[in-house]
Amino acid sequence: MMSLNQRLLELMKERKWKGMTEVQEKALKPILDGKNTLIIAPTGFGKTEAALLPVLSSMLEDNVKPVAVLYITPLKALINDLTLRIDWWASRLNFYVNRKHGEVPQKEKNLRLKRVPHILVTTPEGLEIDLDWATKFRENYKNVKWVIVDEIHELIGSKRGVQLSVLLERLKDFSNYDFQRIGLSATVGDEDLVSSFLFGSSNRESEIVKINDRKEFQLKVVKLNSNSDVWKDAAKYIVSSTEKPTLIFTNSRFLTERLHEELEQYSKDFFVHHSSISREGKSLVEDNLRNGKAKGVICTKTLELGIDVGDIKKIIMFRPPSSVSSFLQRLGRSGHNVFGIAKGEIICLYDFDILEAYAIESLAKNGKVERTSICKPLDVASREILGIILQYGEIEKERVFKILTSSYPFRNLSEENFDELINYLSKNNLLTINNGKLSIGKFFFKLWNFNKNKNFTWSRNFSEFFSLINNNDTFLLRWGDKNIGEIDAIYVYKHIRSGDTIRIGGKLWKITKINTNSMSIDVTPSDGGEGEIPVWKGDGISKSYLIPHEIEKLIKNNEYASNESVKRIIEKYKSRNLPLPSSKIIMVTKNEKETIYSTLINEKISNTIAHMLLYLATAKDSLNSYARYSIYGFSVSFTDKDLLKEILQLDDKKLRKIIIRSILRSPLFISTLKEIQISFGKVGKVDKKEDIILIKEALRQTVSKYFSIKKTLQYIKMIRDGKIKIINCDCSLPLEEAVLMQAPIKPWINNITSIIYETLKGGAYTVNELSELIGVSAKSIEIKLKQMRKPESKYRIVSFIDVDNREVRWCKLDELEQIVQSCDFYTSFNAINDNETFIASLRALNSSTTTELIFKPKEILSNIDEIRRRIPFEEIGELRIYDPVDPLVYNISPRFYYINKKVAPYILLNAVAYVQNMKYS
């Protein structure tokens, strides 16, 4: 400790420190020696000071220039706390600290040009902006001697982590200095991988500083015995169990809002905190925790990390978390110091929740944490290539390649693949290549532009270029000039309308206006009543591969057998003379709707097999097929074929082909494709030949994140070899119930238009009937039908009213005549009085020009060609009839749109039949 500068020792006394923690003592020497250092310790062990104090000591010894230290954190929410924490030390040593993130006031941002900070606290996005665009300020980065990355375990497995890895190499290249790199991490499964990722191309010596002490914790696992309202019972239990202040973690934003809705009935001292609430809203909740106003806060991952919210007495987890690392992060928020004991509960709703909770507890106590995998996404490579070009204006292609491949994720990127990527970006006009030098292409500033009122739906605000946090598909909620939060665009389009009331941030808001161009929604506070809780995509998190293995071990070793839920599960198998749940046994059961294969299985393997079964089921039956998957097995909608048996009979080459085809039809692939294509400059329809690099990358990322081809092929081989046995059962089983509780997955229909057209062949159907036949939502069907009725459609259709039940039916345009002549729809095209006179109001397509046509139904029946001749338009934009004698008929007369002249007489007959039926019935 004496190696620290004397001024720091005096400050330690001022803070009344009795000494340094173990991790601070261990980190001191390697950092003072200039080594790249990875510090691994549980929450509350003082990792920030472990990195900061020796760096400050070195700064006092050297004649440093600002910016000397770059402190990078994954969350904007952490920046304010960290800035205050660092400033306490730095300001007393005459070092200036500043912060940089999107929500820092402009005045403060401008100040850093006048007074450059010695220590800058920022996010990966903040560094990206400075290197790419801050022409004046970035010169100060040439002085950087230390980079500290906080909570690196949160970044390493993500695209933002890859972005940071490249940014550090860009900084090294720009500053022409091999700065010291220091990483702070919670317990990780592969520390060598984390250190390699952080240290990159640095030539400095390195060291890992690790505290092996596992933080002591007390955990209570509780199952709600609810036979009625689970939400009400959960709220009652939480209110009675909460110790002020308590953090209540859920696994999704929807659950957070729903749980708060119920808790509100019992107490107003509970608040909500999640990523879709505005920064201002989250800050208010954090303040309520610090000043003791909050009894509890219901939250998601946003409060897992080290935001300073005061001393937390207790942690409650509503249902088990998805991983051991998440469990440790959440639990570590209480007892937030070296000697503190973390105290928490897991609330379980189902018997299998109990299995998961005990498995996670066991893994944590034994120090088993998930291994991290590092992705190498080409969309990030694309962004960084463009960022480098923005930084230098023009730069040699070889230098860009060298910078990119200096980063750990892209260290194995071949020059051939790099050239392929560069050429694709050039083809899409994001960059230009001239004599081996790269510069920005003419499409770049059209795609990412400065115009807030963008003219094209595909264009993005320029600020979005710097961030890999996918936020373009969201609507911003605004009350006056205040941001309230955000909702996924797909949810808005499907479910939200003006006048609706929604719940977000624990409050009710009435929607006054939806602005599709600016992607914003105007809201006002709602006094009471009920509000719809939005569903956000991305809330579903895959369960750790460690959990099913640990569940199997606990069952096999008869651990926790005294627990009622565990006892009940085991007894159900024993009473039926069945083996206990195992990864080596698949139990097959059937109900009226699906076949269920229950086992204990890696979720990625389960997902892969489920998609294969779905692919085969869809090919054999209809698009109404669906499948499910989880760590407890998989299922597929019922078919008379044994699809798993069919899979087992195929060789690996055919299996691989089915897996790829099934993934290409998955919404997971489509979602990934849409997410990354903007980074490659691709807008509009993706072409299978022209955009092969994009399709391959989307497929690779989808497989890496959600599936496992290699392990699935091994799994299928184990079934073939008899290492995994299949047992057919005629009774319901506990793991089967767990599978059936998962949301069904359905195939993505790429060309729904042709499928609708094919389905309409020879018949006439309502929207709901088509929805049921095809397996696509009624809303989606209706949108497509309205597109298909237009003249430019390759698959032209038309609608009419079924007079018998007053429903709108759709049919192929060229089949309307035979529909009119069929017995099924006789009353829909035959007038009660064919001698009655009507006037048809016809508006030309894409015009305000209208004409009137006086006719009697019998005239159409006697000479249909004469009626067609009297219609002056080939295409009618709108058609409506009215009675010259009875003006009230106009009020009940339906409107018909996009009518071709050829079928217009039949639509006139349909309109008459409907009006007369309404008049005379």
**In this predicted model, what pLDDT tens digit does every residue of 128-181 receive, in sequence order?**
999 999 999 999 999 999 999 999 988 998 999 999 999 999 999 999 999 999
**Cβ-count burial 126-149 (b if 16+ within 10 Å, e if not):** bbbbbbbbbeebbebbebbbbbbb
**Mean per-residue pLDDT, 266-284:** 84
CA separation for the pair 773, 624 (Å, rounded): 7
CA separation for the pair 276, 164 (Å, rounded): 24
Alpha-carbon dihedral sign for residues 279, 280, 285, 290: positive
Under DSSP, is residue 505 helix (H, G, I), strand (E, B) or coil? coil
CATH number of 6-210: 3.40.50.300
| Residue 148 token pair | 């500290």
CA separation for the pair 137, 537 (Å, rounded): 37
Residue pointed to by tokens 């292609």: 397
- Contacting residues for 353 by C-beta, under 8 A, at least 6 apart: 223, 319, 320, 346
Report yes or no: 119 and 68 within 8 Å, Cβ to Cβ.
Answer: yes
CA torsion 633→637→641→643, rounded to 10°? -40
Q: What confidence score (pLDDT) does residue 452 get?
A: 58
Q: Is the pLDDT of residue 455 over 60?
A: no
Q: Is the pLDDT of residue 777 over 80?
A: no
**Mean per-residue pLDDT, 488-506:** 72
CA separation for the pair 214, 220 (Å, rounded): 18
**Mean per-residue pLDDT, 283-291:** 86
pLDDT tens, residue by residue, 480-489: 877 888 887 6
Q: Is the pLDDT of residue 772 over 90?
A: no
Query: Would you place residue 319 in the very low, low, confident or very high pLDDT band (cuts 50, 70, 90)?
Result: very high
Q: What confidence score (pLDDT) does residue 362 get?
A: 95
| Residue 754 token pair | 């042709």
Q: What confidence score (pLDDT) does residue 338 get?
A: 56
Q: Is the pLDDT of residue 559 over 60?
A: yes
What is the number of residues in the chain? 921
Query: Would you place residue 361 in the very low, low, confident or very high pLDDT band (cuts 50, 70, 90)?
Result: very high
**Mean per-residue pLDDT, 273-285:** 82
Query: Would you place residue 640 in the very low, low, confident or very high pLDDT band (cuts 50, 70, 90)?
Result: confident
Residue pointed to by tokens 């369960």: 543
Distance of CA 399 to the CA centre of its chain: 35
Q: What confidence score (pLDDT) does residue 896 get?
A: 96
Q: Within 13 A of 566's CA, how many CA atoms are on the CB side?
A: 21
CA separation for the pair 913, 511 (Å, rounded): 40
| Out of 191-200, 451-460, 809-818, least confident range | 451-460
Listing DSSP states for 52-94 in one string gives: HHHHHHHHHHTT--SS-EEEE-S-HHHHHHHHHHHHHHHHHTT
Query: Would you place residue 213 in the very low, low, confident or very high pLDDT band (cuts 50, 70, 90)?
Result: low
Question: Taking CA 52 as the corner, what is the angle to CA 47 and CA 57, rounded to the nearest 5 degrees?
Answer: 140
Under DSSP, is residue 819 helix (H, G, I), strand (E, B) or coil? helix
One-letter amino acid of 850:
T
Report yes or no: 555 and 572 within 8 Å, Cβ to Cβ.
Answer: no
Q: Is the pLDDT of residue 578 over 60?
A: yes
CATH number of 378-449: 1.10.10.10
Can you give 549-609 as a three-state secondary structure string?
Answer: HHHHHHHHCCCCCCCHHHHHHHHHHHCCCCCCCCCCEEEEEECCCEEEEECCCCHHHHHHH
Q: What confidence score (pLDDT) does residue 449 get?
A: 87
Per cent of the chain over pLDDT 70 is 93
CA separation for the pair 188, 527 (Å, rounded): 47
CA separation for the pair 533, 505 (Å, rounded): 10
pLDDT higher at 218 or 713:
713
Bridging pattern class, strands 594-598 and 501-504 = unpaired
Q: Which of these, 882, 694, 664, 913, lies nearest to 803 by C-alpha position? A: 913
In this prediction the pTM is 0.80
Report yes or no: 701 and 377 within 8 Å, Cβ to Cβ.
Answer: yes
Question: Taking CA 323 as the corner, what is the angle to CA 321 and CA 329, rounded to the nearest 5 degrees?
Answer: 75
Q: What confidence score (pLDDT) does residue 540 get?
A: 63
Report yes or no: 461 and 467 within 8 Å, Cβ to Cβ.
Answer: no
CA separation for the pair 215, 728 (Å, rounded): 45
Q: What confidence score (pLDDT) does residue 506 get?
A: 74
Q: What confidence score (pLDDT) does residue 280 get?
A: 81
Domain spans in the chain, listed from the N-terminal domain onward = 6-210, 217-365, 378-449, 578-740, 752-920
Question: In the CATH hierarchy, which fold is given to the domain comprising 217-365?
Answer: Rossmann fold (3.40.50)
pLDDT tens, residue by residue, 652-702: 999 999 999 999 888 788 878 988 999 999 988 888 889 999 999 999 999
Residue 808 DSSP symbol: E
pLDDT higher at 329 or 891:
329
In angstroms, how far is the first alpha carbon of the chain from the final one?
97
pLDDT tens, residue by residue, 57-98: 999 999 899 999 999 998 877 788 889 899 999 999 999 999
CA torsion 205→208→209→214, rounded to 10°? 180
| Residue 183 token pair | 């990483």
pLDDT tens, residue by residue, 7-55: 999 999 999 998 899 999 999 999 999 999 999 988 778 899 999 999 9
Beta bridge partners of 507: 504
Q: What confidence score (pLDDT) does residue 339 get?
A: 59
Q: Is the pLDDT of residue 748 over 90?
A: no
| Residue 98 token pair | 């500043």
Q: Is the pLDDT of residue 243 over 70?
A: yes
Beta bridge partners of 807: 802
CA torsion 806→811→815→818, rounded to 10°? -20
CA separation for the pair 541, 363 (Å, rounded): 19
**Mean per-residue pLDDT, 800-828:** 93
Residue pointed to by tokens 């006179």: 837
Q: What confidence score (pLDDT) does residue 103 get?
A: 67
Bridging pattern class, strands 217-223 and 97-100 = unpaired
pLDDT tens, residue by residue, 837-857: 999 999 999 888 899 999 999
pLDDT higher at 694 or 761:
694
Residue pointed to by tokens 């004649």: 63
Question: Residue 604 class from Cβ within 10 Å (0-12 exposed, 13-18 middle, 19+ buried)?
Answer: buried
User: Do the two domains 6-210 and 217-365 of this chain adopt the same fold?
Assistant: yes
Q: What confidence score (pLDDT) does residue 536 get?
A: 67
Mean confidence (pLDDT) of the chain: 89
| Residue 454 token pair | 């963008």
Report yes or no: 150 and 74 within 8 Å, Cβ to Cβ.
Answer: yes
**Mean per-residue pLDDT, 713-730:** 96
CA separation for the pair 537, 628 (Å, rounded): 18
Beta bridge partners of 183: 38, 149
Q: What confidence score (pLDDT) does residue 775 get?
A: 66
One-letter amino acid of 302:
T
- In the sheet that 850-855 helps form, which strands lie side by side, from edge to edge? 850-855, 838-844, 875-882, 896-900
